[in-house]
Amino acid sequence: MKKLLVKTLLYSWLVPVLVLAPVAGGGSASAAERPGAAASRTVPAAGEIRIDVDGQKIQLPSAPVIRHGVTLVPMRSVFAALHADVIWEPETKTVIGRKGYTVVTLKVGSKQAIVNGKKMALDAPAEVRGGVTLVPLRFVGEALGADVKWDAKTKTVRIKSAEALAAERKQKLKQEPAKPSAKLTPAEIVERNDESVVMIATNRAQGSGVVISPDLILTNYHVMDGATSGHAVMINDRIYEIAGVIAYDENADLAIIQTKEPLPAQGVKFGSPNSIAKGDTVVAIGSPHGLRNTVSEGLISNIIRENGVTYLQTSAPIDSGSSGGGLFNESGELIGITTSGYQKVNADLNFAVSIEHVHRLLLQIASGEANTAAFLPSKLPSTLKGASESEIVKLLEKEFAYVQTSQGTAEIKDWQAKRDAEGWLVLTANIDPLFYTYYIESSREELRNWAINLGLTVSGLLPDEAVELIVYYDRTFDFKPRGLNADEVTDLGNGKWKVRYPVIHLQVKEQLHIETRF
């Protein structure tokens, strides 16, 4: 679940240092309500537009504005009402909103936002008006898990926060409780399901899977992403070749794969999504680091909904290779597919995709809509031979611009590709300086692996060329930082200094060499 793993950017004592504004409002972002006809220019909203969050009117320091049919509102008040933190980065005129595991980034004047590393189009960009930063309302509200509706009769934007929606679901669950099943011990849960959990090995990755019918296995999308061949290994060491993926949901990180011949295992029993509650005991079965059918026990620590996907946070330990494994309730029923976890924290913070998202895939198969097994199409070309430097840059921007880490998403930007006098293909880029400043210590391994993967991938697409990758830290300061090499600090004049130095330097031909400054 690469979108989830995000932490708060700053501790409270750092916020006054960075939040220097021009921010004086509160907001939530884009594709807004449409009160009345769309305006073709920025004008004050006709009449007073009221904004309610969970039934309470939000007091704004200045009136909302309608631009191209999109309601823009002062930033800070609405972010606060939605229980989100917000930061203004004055150097880049960027708004960064964070709530739990969701990060929303908007740049003044840009019609493109980023939500957990995914680029999304805006109908109208954030803007500064009269010293107040305004953001499009509906986009941010929905990105933060809220329900946003426009009441034209009363000129009111009615927002239900993620917390209010969760409370409604909980109340509904209390009114319509699922029929309880007999509780099993962890040993009984394992005995019932152990043979139905397999290890999946492809030419790209290793993960886990759960047998749901004699020739169908449920796993994570990212386990199969980029694979062109693979097999499932059962607990008795028998190996079954994978024919391909028959149905998938990339957003929910789920895939159903088909084997070329039936497996001698029963399909697991599915639990009810409505019966899941915080505090429930669960058992996870998977193959971390290739250790087949490893069992761990824990609790449902939280239930989180992000970008339309429900995740079960669990204290049951999950590690690399467990992706695609099963999370079972006390009745031995499958309630989630394990997908990710924080690797370097004291607490057990791990996640599974709720089983509720599997039903749509099963309907596709049952209806015949999905009936052909094939490996997922590659997102990379078969070769880069003959590709121009600009085409290489476009590929890097599309496939390698974001690094998903246990501390959140690191953006790698400002890509360039040039061939030097010695014939080397030199790739350069800049890492998000804020991410580097606050999270590099705990993300070094993931960034190093990302660089190695990029280098080997490009080298494989250009086998006759030497490839060099340099990722820089690049930031402008209002003071001259000390303790750096002379060539790493440049006086820009007007009291500004630019700091730039390489943090990743990788070279690959027949062999690979990498240096890092972490």
Closest CA to 200 of 326, 340, 321, 361: 321
Q: Report the half-sphere exposure of 190 (CA within 13 A, side-chain side).
A: 13
Q: Report the half-sphere exposure of 206 (CA within 13 A, side-chain side).
A: 12
Tokens at 405, concatenated = 């880490």
CA angle 349, 98, 133 (to 5 degrees): 175
Tracing tokens 């058992």 back to the chain, one arrives at 283
Give the separation between CA 338 and CA 219, rounded to whole angstroms.
Answer: 9
Q: Which fold has domain 186-367?
A: Thrombin, subunit H (2.40.10)
Q: Is 360 left (phi over 0), alpha (psi -120 to 50) or beta?
A: alpha
Q: Report the half-sphere exposure of 48 (CA within 13 A, side-chain side).
A: 9
Query: Taking a C-beta distance cutoff of 8 angstroms, is the pair 232, 259 a contact?
Result: yes
Q: How far apart are the first and last CA of the chain?
A: 25
Largest CA distance in the chain: 73
Tracing tokens 């993931």 back to the chain, one arrives at 446
Report the run of H or E that residue 341 belongs to, with start and end. Answer: strand 334-341
Coil vs helix vs strand at 14: coil
Give the separation between CA 430 and CA 412, rounded to whole angstroms.
Answer: 6
- Residue 272's CB is within 10 A of a number of other CB atoms, namely 16
Give the separation between CA 168 and CA 162, rounded to whole angstroms.
Answer: 10
Identify the pLDDT of residue 180: 56
Give the separation between CA 440 and CA 473, rounded to whole angstroms.
Answer: 11
Give the separation between CA 160 and CA 49, rounded to whole angstroms.
Answer: 17
Tracing tokens 């007091």 back to the chain, one arrives at 59
Write the DSSP string, 128-147.
Answer: EETTEEEEEHHHHHHHTT-E
CA 377, 383, 387, 392 dihedral sign is: positive
The residues pairing with 405 across neighbouring beta strands, listed in sequence order, are 408
Tokens at 149, concatenated = 């509706």
CATH number for the region 15-169 comes to: 3.30.457.10
Could you tell me the residue ranges of all domains in the chain?
15-169, 186-367, 389-516
Report the run of H or E that residue 193 belongs to, with start and end. Answer: helix 186-193
pLDDT tens string, the chain, 518 residues long: the values are: 444 443 323 333 233 333 333 333 333 333 333 333 333 344 444 457 899 999 999 999 988 999 888 999 999 988 999 999 898 888 889 999 888 757 889 999 999 998 876 788 999 999 999 889 999 999 999 989 899 998 888 889 999 998 888 788 777 766 665 555 679 999 999 999 999 999 999 987 789 999 999 999 999 999 998 888 999 999 999 999 999 999 999 999 999 999 999 999 989 999 988 889 999 999 999 988 778 889 999 999 999 988 889 999 999 988 766 889 999 999 999 999 998 655 444 446 789 999 999 988 988 888 788 888 999 988 888 899 999 999 999 999 998 998 877 677 889 999 999 999 999 999 999 999 999 999 898 888 889 989 998 999 999 999 999 999 999 999 999 999 999 999 999 999 999 999 999 999 999 998 999 999 98
Identify the pLDDT of residue 498: 97
Tracing tokens 């504004």 back to the chain, one arrives at 21
Write the DSSP string, 372-412.
Answer: --BPPPPSS-S--TT--HHHHHHHHHHHSSEEEETTEEEEE
State how far the alpha carbon of 184 is from the alpha carbons of 190, 191, 283, 329, in Å: 10, 10, 11, 9
- Provide Rg for the chain, Cα atoms: 25
Backbone angles phi, psi at 505, to 5 degrees: -135, 110
